[in-house]
Amino acid sequence: MMYDELIKAITTLGSPKVLVVGDFMLDVYIYGDALRISPEAPVPVLKIKRTEYNSGGAGSVAVNLSDLGAVPYCIGVIGDDENGIILKEALVKAGADVSGLFVVMGRPTITKQRLIGLAQHRHQQQLFRMDREVTEPLNAQQYQDILSTYKTKLTDADIVCLEDYNKGFLNDFLSQEMIRLAKKAGKKILVDPPFTNDYSKYTGATLITPNRQEASTVVGFDIDDAVSAARAAEELVSKFKLEAVVITLDKEGAYLRAGQIRQMIPTRVRSVYDVTGAGDVVLATLAASLAGGCDYRTAVQLSNIAGGIEVGKFGAVSVTVEEILNETISQKHGKDGKVHMVNSLKNKLGWHRRQKQVIVFTNGCFDIIHTGHIEFLKFCKSQGDVLVVGLNSDSSVRQIKGSERPINNQYDRAAVLAAFETVDYVTFFDEPDPLRLIKEVEPDVLVKGQDWAQKGVVGREFVESNGGKVVLAPIVEGKSTTATIEKMKSVGNSELEYEGSR
């Protein structure tokens, strides 16, 4: 599909109502410095710094749906405990309807508690996970109460999601009844299955979204290419009377079998940081897309993008419409996707701030790139998470360097900067100094070269008054654009003299 169509699709999803049924969990992340080994046993000692609570399992699907603009209605069970209260509060904060969450006495809220070690306050690594759960089925009356609530909410829902982690809630009876009722109401019902060898309880569902390993286990053969993926999808559709199958295939993308469509839909290859929650994001994006009017191919393309963004994060973290939009634009325009006018840039930086990321700013002409620039940009990037480069426009360069500069126009210079991995965004300013732009960007860290120590750094007072800091970067001796230009002139003059003497 053309990128313009994807952009139109993700920005016109509306606010569909999605019924989310399944295993609601609380993800607890305990972060601490792991700087020494215990004298009692060969294990790291964790000095706890902070604790974070996130919605997991079906709760993760609900939060993702909310961030995509959908309205999630939750149906599941939690315990009569503190973790259940924390989970409900998190879901309500995300905009979910939690009136369908049943409190079951004597059954703890499913909780996954992870210990995360940090080295030098960074480089987070999961050390250990502790699960608290009861996976026994509910009693008959509880299932009837759940079905009664499901029937009521199904009337208003646009689509249904079953997020099954095999924790005893979605048993054969409940799954089949919910599928039957959804089909009777003319509503699509999507399933994200657990790792199991039998999908019988999902017979008749609209769509199922196993990953490569899960699907391989059910069909009994390895899925290692498009041919085997197609064979597996056909078998799943036939055996379980499904309308569609989406088999997610890691860096290869996903295989879609829906109606006459039998297609491998590729994804952008990227570094994988953590696969936790990837299935939740895919299910949520498919549901929001299909309920928002997208066809299967478009929905899978959007879910590919969303899943790719999620695996680049740590933990089960939701993906927003803005992120999918920015990623789609980036794929369309390549590195030029980093170049923005200040108003567009401010919107993007707003998202990074909500993720608690440190914004670094520097500025310059960057007319002819040399080693000094490369080392300088590396240093800037090391000071935080997101590096914004303020680039003197052509008129700005002429004001401070003279009519012969710049050598390269502002768009060429921006394209070169955007090609560097260390640079996240490039924007322009027309004034001789960047003070107005610094006030617009509001960086956490302002970086200039050490040679500005005596001149005085423009913007220092503003940044420090906002709680930020100014950092001076070391200078690579003997490297400057002016020196490079003078050398080029010198070489040119020598060649002219040589030609004249012949």
Q: Which residues pair with 225 in a beta bridge?
A: none
Closest CA to 394 of 429, 343, 440: 429
Tokens of 395: 């008129």
Tokens of 249: 């295939």
How many other CB atoms sit within 10 Å of the CB of residue 323? 20
Quote the CA–CA distance of 449 and 472 in Å, as a whole number. Answer: 5
Quote the CA–CA distance of 341 and 1 in Å, as a whole number. Answer: 27
Q: Residues with Cβ < 8 Å from 44, sequence gap 6 or more? A: 34, 36, 37, 38, 117, 127
Quote the CA–CA distance of 94 and 91 in Å, as a whole number. Answer: 5
Is the preceding omega at residue 406 within 30 degrees of 0, hence cis? Answer: yes
One of 280, 367, 394, 424 is an active-site residue; which one? 280
Tokens of 415: 């394209």
| Catalytic residue list contains 280 | yes
Quote the CA–CA distance of 476 and 60 in Å, as a whole number. Answer: 48
Quote the CA–CA distance of 308 and 56 in Å, as a whole number. Answer: 18
Output the DSSP codes for 322-386. Answer: HHHHHHHHHHHHGGGGGB--HHHHHHHHHHHHHTTPPEEEEEE---S--HHHHHHHHHHHTTSSE
Burial 403-417 (b: 16+ CB within 10 A, else e): eebbbbebeebbbbb
Please say whether the beta carbons of 131 and 166 come within 8 A: no
Strands annotated E in 216-353 = 244-248, 254-258, 261-265
Tokens of 212: 């490569």
CA distances from 12 to 280, 293, 332 (A): 21, 9, 19
Start-to-end CA span in the chain (Å): 61
Which residues are catalytic, by number?
A: 280
